[in-house]
Amino acid sequence: MSTVALGNYEFEPKDVRKNFPAPLLYIGWEDHLLFCAPVCLPLPGETPFGALTSEVLPGVYGAHPDFAHIDWSQVLWFKSSQPWQPDPTKSLQENGIGHKDVIRFRTPGLIGIKGSLS
């Protein structure tokens, strides 16, 4: 069934950058459906990308048994569903990450609790 707009919806969206303490970044862990959707974190653009793996993600995903076994040198990264290789020494902003961007990572050999994708 199609829908028809009855008028113009002209308004400023509420999720613009200025309404948050820092740009929002969505981060998802592929093949780990215990986390059913990417998490959304307010992270300053100046945050070094390497800090994600050492300081941010342990607090988000660290309770999962696979997390301790991640070989970060082998992780496959995706930005907007495309393969992507971030530079861990550069900031989020320098890596081209902006407000409400989505990044995902896949951990080869780790596919959830006992291979269950969970």
The CATH number given to whatever domain includes residue 77 is 3.10.20.560
Average pLDDT of the chain is 94
Residue 23 has pLDDT above 90, yes or no: yes
Separation between Cα atoms, residue 103 and residue 60, nearest integer Å = 14
Whether residue 9 is contained in a domain is answered as no
Q: What domain count does the chain have?
A: 1
Whether residue 71 is contained in a domain is answered as yes
**pTM greater than 0.85 (yes/no):** yes
Whether residue 25 is contained in a domain is answered as yes
Whether residue 92 is contained in a domain is answered as yes
Q: First-to-last CA distance in the chain?
A: 36
Beta-sheet pairing, 101-106 with 24-29: parallel
Separation between Cα atoms, residue 61 and residue 50, nearest integer Å = 16
Cβ atoms of 94 and 19 closer than 8 Å: no
Question: Which among 45, 51, 14, 35 is positioned nearest to 104, based on CA atoms?
Answer: 35
Residue 7 has pLDDT above 90, yes or no: no
- What share of the chain has pLDDT > 90, as a percent? 81
Whether residue 2 is contained in a domain is answered as no
Residue span of the structural domain in which 67 resides = 20-115
Cβ atoms of 96 and 79 closer than 8 Å: yes
Q: List, for residues 75-110, the tens digit of each pLDDT value.
A: 999 999 999 999 999 999 999 999 999 999 999 999
Whether residue 63 is contained in a domain is answered as yes
Whether residue 7 is contained in a domain is answered as no
pLDDT of residue 8: 84
Cβ neighbors of 85 (< 8 A, separation 6 or more) are 77
Whether residue 6 is contained in a domain is answered as no
Residue 5 has pLDDT above 80, yes or no: no
